[in-house]
Every structure is written in structure tokens, then in C-alpha cells.
């Protein structure tokens, strides 16, 4: 079977697995070629994600009809790329960077997720769980950003299920207080099935979709 067919087939299998829970798929394209993005776009995938601000800009410029999500670490001097090009920003974790992004959001409201550190590792990105409510409150003064949910990453060697369950509990609590905080973006190639069981509304998949895709083998 050629590589193009195999890629579409892997994508279909994932979509089928996500369909009973209505979980959305973000195709994380950071390791893959424009070619592979086009193949999935043709198959019907509309939401893609990048973790570097310049790659977000490049991909959003190349594929303006797709929705580009930003999921990575952001420094303030690159905030303009997220403000201009992101359809959704998943990795908001501090007010300074949020204000820097907001300056570049024009004539629209950018949906954002607060990234929570659920791994317990201090060097990992994200707000500590006890800081989420305060950051949410502070963000109410920024009209161009709208918090619609939470994002988190489990640590590979910790208790993945417990970490996802904690993030879900935090989302439930926020949603009860502020109805529109409903998205729960968690789960990557190694742990997405657990994330779906724990109630993820979006998963971010890169290698499991694209890893075996070798553009030089594509027969067109």
C-alpha cells in the first residue's frame, strides 16, 4: 500500500475511534511535510496544530483555509504570530504573554485554553492547578481573548490516568462556575485513548498519524 493511502487510513481509524465520544482531532503537523498536511486536508481534516510560532505563521500562510492551533511554548517577542494566525491558542499560562498576544488580535476574539501543569514536574509548562482560577479572573479584563477550556500534558512515567482525571475535575469545577469553560484538550500519541476515557474533548496527535509517512514514497 502506498504511503498516501496508509496515512489516510491511519487518520480514518483515529476519527472512527474518536467519533462515539465526539472528541475532536488536532493533527499535529510539526514533524511532517506540507505534502502530508495537504493529504489530510483533502481527506477532510480541518484542524491542525503547530508548536513553534514561526511554523504556525508559515503553515497558516501556506494553508489559509485550514484552522491552525498553537500548542507550544511562547516567548513574548513571538506573540504576534499567535495573535495574527492562531485559530485557537492552547498554551496560555501567564498574563504577560496573554497581553502580548492580545495586542495582535484584530477584529476578532481568539479562543484560548489555559495550560495546566498536571504532571507534577516543576520544569514542565503550565499554571499550577491552584493558579487557574486567578488567571481566569485576570483574563476577564482582556476582551480579545476568550477562555473556553483547559489543556494539559501527562508525564510519561507518572500516573497518566490520574493526571487526566485531575484536569477533568478542574475543568468541571470551572465549567460549573463559568459555563463557557468546557473544552478539555488532553492526550497525545502515547496516551490519547486514556485521555478519551477521561473525557477529553480534543486530542493532539502527531507521530501516530504522520510518523510512517515518507513523502518520497508517495505515488501521485
Ligand X SMILES: *Cc1c(COP(=O)(O)O)cnc(C)c1O
Which residues in this chain contact ligand X in the complex, by CB under 6 A?
28, 30, 51, 71-72, 188-190, 204-208
Minimum CB distance to ligand X, residue 192 (Å): 8
Which is closer to ligand X, CB of 178 or CB of 199? 199
Q: Are 201 and 149 in contact (CB under 8 A)?
A: yes
- Hey, is 119 helix, strand or coil? coil
Minimum CB distance to ligand X, residue 90 (Å): 7
Minimum CB distance to ligand X, residue 47 (Å): 13
Which is closer to ligand X, CB of 176 or CB of 195? 195
The whole-angstrom separation of Cα 63 and Cα 125 is: 28
The whole-angstrom separation of Cα 70 and Cα 88 is: 6
Which is closer to ligand X, CB of 138 or CB of 211? 211
Give Cβ neighbours of residue 87 (< 8 Å, ≥ 6 apart): 47, 67, 68, 69, 111
Which is closer to ligand X, CB of 56 or CB of 205? 205
The whole-angstrom separation of Cα 114 and Cα 134 is: 11
Q: Which residue is nearest to ligand X (CB)?
A: 206
Amino acid at each position: 500500500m502506498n504511503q498516501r493511502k496508509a496515512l489516510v487510513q491511519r487518520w480514518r481509524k483515529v476519527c472512527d475511534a474518536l467519533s462515539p465520544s465526539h472528541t475532536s482531532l488536532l493533527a499535529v503537523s510539526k514533524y511532517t511535510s506540507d505534502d502530508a498536511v495537504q493529504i489530510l486536508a483533502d481527506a477532510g481534516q480541518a484542524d491542525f496544530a503547530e508548536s513553534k510560532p514561526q511554523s504556525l505563521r508559515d503553515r497558516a500562510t501556506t494553508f489559509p483555509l485550514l484552522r491552525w492551533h498553537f500548542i507550544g511554548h511562547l516567548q513574548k517577542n513571538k506573540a504576534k504570530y499567535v495573535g495574527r494566525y492562531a485559530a485557537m491558542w492552547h498554551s496560555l499560562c501567564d498574563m504577560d504573554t496573554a497581553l502580548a498576544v492580545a495586542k495582535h488580535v484584530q477584529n476578532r476574539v481568539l479562543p484560548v485554553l489555559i495550560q495546566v501543569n498536571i504532571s507534577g514536574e516543576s520544569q514542565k509548562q503550565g499554571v499550577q492547578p491552584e493558579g487557574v482560577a486567578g488567571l481566569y479572573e485576570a483574563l476577564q479584563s482582556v476582551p480579545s481573548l476568550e477562555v473556553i477550556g483547559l489543556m494539559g500534558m501527562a508525564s510519561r512515567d507518572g500516573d497518566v490516568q490520574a493526571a487526566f482525571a485531575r484536569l477533568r475535575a478542574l475543568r468541571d469545577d470551572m465549567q460549573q462556575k463559568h459555563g463557557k469553560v468546557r473544552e478539555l484538550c488532553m492526550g497525545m500519541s502515547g496516551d490519547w485513548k486514556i485521555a478519551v476515557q477521561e473525557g477529553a474533548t480534543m486530542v493532539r496527535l502527531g507521530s501516530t498519524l504522520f510518523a510512517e509517512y515518507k513523502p518520497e514514497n508517495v505515488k501521485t
